[in-house]
Structure 1
């Protein structure tokens, strides 16, 4: 039987405690949130992380251990912050009595996106908004847009009876009096306003 000698000093000095790793993760999350809030690109955040590590490495174990490269920043923003903040806003929208849906078509190369944006008043009367879905669909007919919006609203769990208005600048939505997204919604909701 073979026996292995383990250098316990090396293992304990390179491992971080659970509390320390949670503090590092919280710092990185706050750093990415702050950078995103101010529109900083991920490459800028990577550079700032390197500066922080250089300046504060002697006095802060968290700063010394922080690693927020471009790819990690994008991962934190897309897979941690965005789902959490979207859930939080959707909970507030569900608690509000009424909300408004806005959307627009946007072309990116050969793809057509429809960002779906909800706006509402919170308990405190503050007007807020959030993108709840990003629909990728090239069909811009009124029926298809209506079906995609209904799917987005149902998927997010918002009550249809709370929808008070829809707004966009797309002609298939507002202009036609007989067959538009607005008239299709009006068949579902009586007192809907056109935005």
Structure 2
């Protein structure tokens, strides 16, 4: 564990303020859920909670199905990282931090589509494939009004087009994953 040199006191209601520098570094925003753990040495550990991360295995199976149905690379992200991929390089994408552009799109709660004539969106923070994407569909996963991740279809094939079918499949996947989280 890394020491920060920052000390905070617990107030009369049992609250502790997480310093702004740490929140910024760990991308913890107001309203973000945190898991609380304790260890045998009496340390209290706070971990950013990813609701969609609870469905990790299920998300991977859904990615596999999307890839088999569309023959495009399918990815699922939470609000910070890519948590599942099928049809592409796991080493390139899996557990990589999502780009600020993707984060903003997800927070905007709208589906994004691009084909060869549009500018593609960066998927991961340092995306070496940006100039290779020929088509993308990105649908946010919304649970109880809050964005919790996204479902992404990408293609690097030169003449690939994301049409109405791919948009509907991606939006359906996002809606289905949202319903699974609510149960």
TM score, norm. by length of structure 1: 0.27
Which structure carries more helix by proportion? 1
- Larger Rg, first or second structure (1 or 2): 1
Higher RCO, 1 vs 2 (CA within 8 Å, ≥6 residues apart): 2
